[in-house]
Amino acid sequence: MGRFKQVAIPILVACVFLLPLLIGALAQGQLGRVLEIEIGKAANAKGQIKRAYAKDFDNRDFQGAIDEYRKVVEYFPNSPEAAEAQFRIGNIYHWKTFEPEKAIVEYEKVADNYPDSDYAVESIIRIGDCYGLLKQFDRSIEYFQRAINEYPDSQYAPMANIGLANTHLFELHDHEKAAPIYESILAKYPQTPFFVEAKVWLKYIDQTRQGIRKEDVAIYQQIIADYPEHRYGQAMAQYMIGWTYFRVQESANGGVAFQKMLDNYPDIDANHLSAAQFYVAVAHSSQGRYIDALIAFETIMEKYPRSKYAQPAEKSADALKEVITALYGDGFLQQGD
């Protein structure tokens, strides 16, 4: 044991003195080339973007993720990952922090700097969507049409077409312009998820022209059954089942249908989820279930604070609190807290 200590101590001392020399040799690299060593920088673009993924998807640290994505663009500008990283910065502002103005700026960088990337056409489409969120529908149409014109053979062409048709239908209420675009989607893109969505909205246009009947529910149910692999189209059909029930004055059935949408399709866009939640709250209220209605309205305020239903939900919640207080006394809601 004594001999081991005598040998180990000189070796330890030698390591301490040799370590700086070893690091220097590694930094110098082969053939005398100086290698850049930078704390916080990954060895390659794939490693850097994985760091961004972890903060974005695992930790939901969106500002941290943006910082890491920017490093991909800065350190590895010619890599395939650079276009994706720039695109995902736009995505964070678009879908996660709900800042469409900032998203537009970031998406424009993708379209300008990486025009040959698939992310370019998708960014142009997302810009159209962001302008829709800002109620600048002329600009929205401009960008959807730009994507169609500049990338007619892209896999994202049906997405641009559905965005254009939806803007005409739901924002400008121009059914006559929307219908032929949906019909062209059915003709050109039968193997895409947008085919199912186009079928749903053409049925809705038919309802507005022919009148809304309870029997229409069965048509939407059949769409759900026929296209099990297309979840978003299914979700829109389920939404229209609830909407149809409400329009034929069957709010109880409508509430059940909208709750089914929330349960079965929790991963679709916040606009439709918040709308479904609002209808659920209205259904509860119409049946005298005021506590359930209040919870549903407050869920919108908590989960979808930037949706167009957040402010109506807040007003409805305040009105319900007065009703509940009148029915059960001043201390009832405090007890629930």
What per-residue confidence (pLDDT) applies to 288? 95
User: Residues 158-183: what's their mean pLDDT?
Assistant: 97
Least trusted range by pLDDT, from 211-215, 246-250, 314-318, 326-330: 326-330
What per-residue confidence (pLDDT) applies to 119? 96
Point out the domain boundary residue: 80, 104, 134.
Answer: 134
Residue 28 lies in a domain: no
Confidence of residue 319 (pLDDT cuts 50, 70, 90): very high
Residue 283 lies in a domain: no
Residue 14 lies in a domain: no
Point out the domain boundary residue: 190, 210, 230.
Answer: 210
Q: How many whole angstroms separate alpha carbon 184 and alpha carbon 187?
A: 5
- Do both 171 and 201 map to the same domain? yes
What per-residue confidence (pLDDT) applies to 16? 39
Residue 217 lies in a domain: no
Point out the domain boundary residue: 186, 210, 234.
Answer: 210
267 pLDDT higher than 50:
yes
What per-residue confidence (pLDDT) applies to 335? 67
User: Residues 49-77: what's their mean pLDDT?
Assistant: 96
12 pLDDT higher than 80:
no
What per-residue confidence (pLDDT) applies to 37? 40
What per-residue confidence (pLDDT) applies to 40? 61
- Do both 117 and 65 map to the same domain? yes
Q: Kindly report, residue by residue over 29-61, the tens digit of the pLDDT.
A: 333 333 344 456 778 999 999 999 999 999 999
- Do both 184 and 106 map to the same domain? no
Residue 222 vs residue 33, higher pLDDT: 222
Residue 227 lies in a domain: no
State the chain's mean pLDDT as an integer. 88
- Do both 123 and 170 map to the same domain? no
Phi, psi of 277 (to 5 degrees): -60, -40
| CATH number, position 94 | 1.25.40.10
- Do both 165 and 129 map to the same domain? no
User: Residues 304-318: what's their mean pLDDT?
Assistant: 92
3-state secondary structure 152-172: CCCCCHHHHHHHHHHHHHHHC
Give how many domains the chain has, as a whole number.
2
- Do both 105 and 170 map to the same domain? no
What per-residue confidence (pLDDT) applies to 330? 79
Cβ–Cβ under 8 Å, residues 83 and 106: no
Q: How many whole angstroms separate alpha carbon 37 and alpha carbon 100?
A: 37
Residue 291 lies in a domain: no
- Do both 128 and 174 map to the same domain? no
For tokens 């990952």, the residue is 81
Residue 188 lies in a domain: yes
Query: Residue 173's domain spans which residues?
Result: 155-210
- Do both 130 and 160 map to the same domain? no
User: Residues 72-88: what's their mean pLDDT?
Assistant: 96
